[in-house]
């Protein structure tokens, strides 16, 4: 999404069956406002903020980038699925 967050482009991608990789809460909200279903958005943010938690509660998927994010996610959403980003 970072390359082109234009609402028309996002909607086109949605009709083609593509999902959104958002790198910030702002991008996730922009996708939602474009009409993208929350469950089709993966948030890969550097921080686990209150806004990120709010988005996850709305159905946005989360991709953890650190052990501290995994810990915060686990405490907030026990028993749910999360993806992880590994930087080799």
| pLDDT tens-digit map of 26-57 | 999 999 999 999 999 999 988 889 999 999 99
pTM over 0.85: yes
- Write down the pLDDT at residue 64: 94
DSSP 57: H
CATH topology of domain 7-84: Rossmann fold (3.40.50)
Cα–Cα–Cα angle for 11, 12, 16, nearest 5°? 115
Query: Domains of the chain: which residue ranges?
Result: 7-84
Q: Which of 56, 59, 75 lies closest to 67 in space, CA to CA?
A: 75
Burial of 45-73, coded b for 16+ CB within 10 Å and e otherwise, reads beebeebbbebbeeebbbbbbeeebeebb
Residue 86 has pLDDT above 90, yes or no: no
Please state the rounded mean pLDDT for residues 55-69: 95
pLDDT category of residue 2 using cuts at 50, 70 and 90:
confident
């Amino acid at each position: 999404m970072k390359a082109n967050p234009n609402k028309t482009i996002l909607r086109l991608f949605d009709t083609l069956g593509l999902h959104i990789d958002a790198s910030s809460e702002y991008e996730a909200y922009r996708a939602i406002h474009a009409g993208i279903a929350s469950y089709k958005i993966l948030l890969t943010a550097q921080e686990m903020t209150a806004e990120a938690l709010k988005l996850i509660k709305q159905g946005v998927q989360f991709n953890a980038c650190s052990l501290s994010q995994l810990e915060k996610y686990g405490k907030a959403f026990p028993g749910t699925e999360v993806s992880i980003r590994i930087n080799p």
